[in-house]
Copies of this chain bind each other. A is one copy, B any other.
Amino acid sequence: MRPATRQRVLAAAGALDYSPNISARSLAGARSYLLALLYDDPSLNYLAQVQIGALAKCREEGFYLLVEPCRRGVPGVTRAVRSLLVRSRVDGVILTPPVCDSPAVMAALEEAGVAYVRIAPARAPYRAPAVAMDDYQAGYDMTAYLLSLGHRRIAFIKGPRAHGAASRRYDGFCAALAAAQIALPAGFVARGDFSFDAGMDCGLALLRRRPRPSAIFAANDDMAAGVVAAAHRLGVALPEALSVAGFDDTAARLTWPAITTVRQPITAMAKAATGLLIAALRTRGREEKSPPPRLMLDYEIIHRASTAPPSGGGNDG
């Protein structure tokens, strides 16, 4: 179009303080500029950080974010997702763990032809873009670090059954033990739901075992904080009598001693994922041949005061 016309229109729009109406746009066109963020009972801290990242990218790109809880695993999910798509007409969906590994949700999305991106998926299929970090390697590295300190009786607190990324952390833990030819004593593995309370309960249980673990590695920070509280309650000295390691770096600094943890770039992952989703939206139809991008972000082990060499003389009996 002619630059002069363009100028005139822009000027008029500015003068009238015009902004396009999302509903009308969505109704008429192929795009709604609406993204949905699906989550299922996550750690609140994790969710909040994901949202910050997603929202930041949405703002940059002129999208809006709809937040939706999603009971993954119940029979009605497919219906619920389908209903969300029809009603809200979102252009794309951001899947956070553990929804990111739900075959039912992915199937519903694909069937409806709605683009989506997965944050921290742990399993195939990789038919949509994904942003993750190497949870397996991070679990391995943290365990190797504990081993390097001299620990041999290391317990693990797993995350929710459906949480794939948490399972990978456990796999890495097991692999590191195996590589060091260290057997995992019976009863040294507990399972929690990522909450502080679960960490406390599992911590109390693990610390009553004999021989007692000299280190406990929890699949997320909230649970690691619970373990620290459990140790305090039982009068177990940290880090002399027990080392504690966490994962996420969402709550690890709050405790005393502060928890050694794996720093996960949650906000950056969410931002990158949202960017990938929007990019996919823009190239819809074309270049369907290339496989969807998979971004792998770096993690970092943050060494804090909760880990130290085992004292040796511990409560072994």
A interface residues, Cβ below 8 angstroms from B:
17, 19-24, 26-27, 32, 44-45, 47-49, 51-52, 55, 59, 64-69, 79, 82-83, 86-89, 196, 225, 228-229, 232, 251, 253-258
Contact = CB atoms under 8 A, between A and B. Distances in A.
Contacts of A256: 228-229, 232, 255-256
Contacts of A51: 67
B64 A69 contact: no
Contact of A254 (B44, B47, B83, B229): B229
Given A44-B49, A55-B68, A251-B251, 16 more contacts: A17-B79, A21-B86, A22-B88, A23-B23, A23-B24, A23-B27, A51-B67, A65-B67, A67-B67, A196-B253, A229-B256, A229-B258, A232-B256, A251-B254, A254-B255, A255-B256
A67 B86 contact: no
20 contacts: A17-B82, A17-B83, A19-B86, A20-B87, A22-B87, A22-B89, A23-B32, A24-B27, A44-B44, A44-B45, A45-B48, A64-B68, A65-B66, A229-B253, A229-B254, A232-B257, A254-B254, A254-B255, A255-B255, A255-B256
A44 B48 contact: yes
A51 B67 CA distance: 9
In terms of DSSP, what is the predominant structure of the interface of chain A?
helix
B44 A89 contact: no
Contact of A83 (B19, B49, B82, B232): B19
Number of copies: 2
Nearest to A88: B22
Nearest to A252: B254
Nearest to A24: B27
Given A21-B86, A22-B23, A251-B254, A67 B55 contact: yes
Contacts of A254: 196, 225, 229, 251, 254-255
A305 to B, nearest CB: 9
Contacts of A69: 55, 59
Contacts of A67: 51, 55, 65, 67
Contact of A21 (B22, B27, B257): B27
A257 B254 CA distance: 11
A21 B89 contact: yes
Contacts of A23: 22-24, 26-27, 32, 89
A19 B112 CA distance: 14
A226 to B, nearest CB: 9
A67 B232 CA distance: 39
Nearest to A42: B48
Contacts of A21: 27, 86-87, 89
Contacts of A44: 44-45, 48-49, 52
